[in-house]
Amino acid sequence: MTQDPTTEAPVCYRHPDRQTLLSCTRCERPICSACSIDATVGQRCPACVGAEGRQREIPTRGRTASGAPATMVFLGLAVLLFFATGMGSGGQGIYEALAQSNRAVAAGEWWRLFTPVLLHATVTHILFNMWALWVLGPQIERGVGTWPFVGVYLASAAVGGAFFFFLGDPLVPAVGASGAIFGLFGVWFNWALRRRHTRYGRYLLNQILILLLINAAIPFLVRGIAWEAHLGGLIAGFVIGEAWSRVGGSHQAMTRALIAAAVGVLAVVAVLL
């Protein structure tokens, strides 16, 4: 059953319960990663492959069972470093090398806008962020592709870091993947807002708004929350999601990855200038 095109709901035409940003480069109908078949240029849906006749299928490499390898890598690295920083004398050295110190960033260590996503201060801190990554990450990665997902994750971290650089305490270091996680919230918020006229879109928008309101209140209740990074990441994810929605053609994944990379570069340039 194909979704009514007037609703703009991004669901696979063969699996209406699966949201996706992929589309067949021949018929342009939306397809999920399970239906996508790599072609010489772009991807095809099973119907178009069948109509085109016998072809050689090229297996996709490097995918985990969930189809979201980058999500699993980011999650695994964060957990690994959380345990590494909590054991032995080397933990403090890792923190000093990767945390966002605004003084170090001002001195030219721009990579510190990205590396805090690997560090977390408490069990609660990492549990919330990794839960959100586990829930949001695979769906976005499967929908747009691995490299666009990597791009939006790191770009949101960089923009969140830039907001913290300009608005945060210059003497207090920042750690955590919250900026990147809020970037994922921003992408979902954009998707839901664009589809608010559908039943699923309204449901999704309500859920995202509730989560955002809860997280907006937390900095007023808990000390030490870098709300600046949350805000920056959310804006970055929303803007990137909006730009992605305007991308079409046979090179969607590459274009989306470049859009996200450009946003990350702009954040770094803003800080360096």
Take residue 57 and report the two structure tokens written for it.
């299928």
In angstroms, how far is CA 195 from the centroid of its own chain?
A: 19
C-alpha pair distances (Å), 127 with each of 116, 120, 202 = 16, 9, 28
Catalytic residue among 33, 101, 125, 230: 230
Q: Is 148 exposed, middle or buried (0-12, 13-18, 19+ CB in 10 A)?
A: buried
Residue-range domains of the chain with CATH: 1-61 (no CATH), 69-272 (1.20.1540.10)
- Three-class DSSP category at 224: coil
Catalytic residue among 66, 101, 178, 245: 178
Active site residue 33: no
How high is the pLDDT of residue 42? 52
Spatial contact of 66 and 135, defined as CB atoms under 8 Å apart:
no
Spatial contact of 141 and 70, defined as CB atoms under 8 Å apart:
yes
Active site residue 230: yes
pLDDT by residue, tens only, the chain of 273 residues: 444 444 455 788 888 888 787 777 678 788 876 787 755 445 678 887 776 554 444 344 444 445 799 999 999 999 999 988 875 445 788 888 999 999 999 999 999 999 999 999 889 889 989 999 998 899 899 889 999 999 999 999 999 999 999 998 888 899 999 999 999 999 999 988 888 887 877 888 888 888 888 877 777 777 778 899 999 999 999 999 999 988 877 788 999 999 999 999 999 999 998
Maximum distance among all alpha carbons in the chain? 64
Take residue 45 and report the two structure tokens written for it.
């849906």
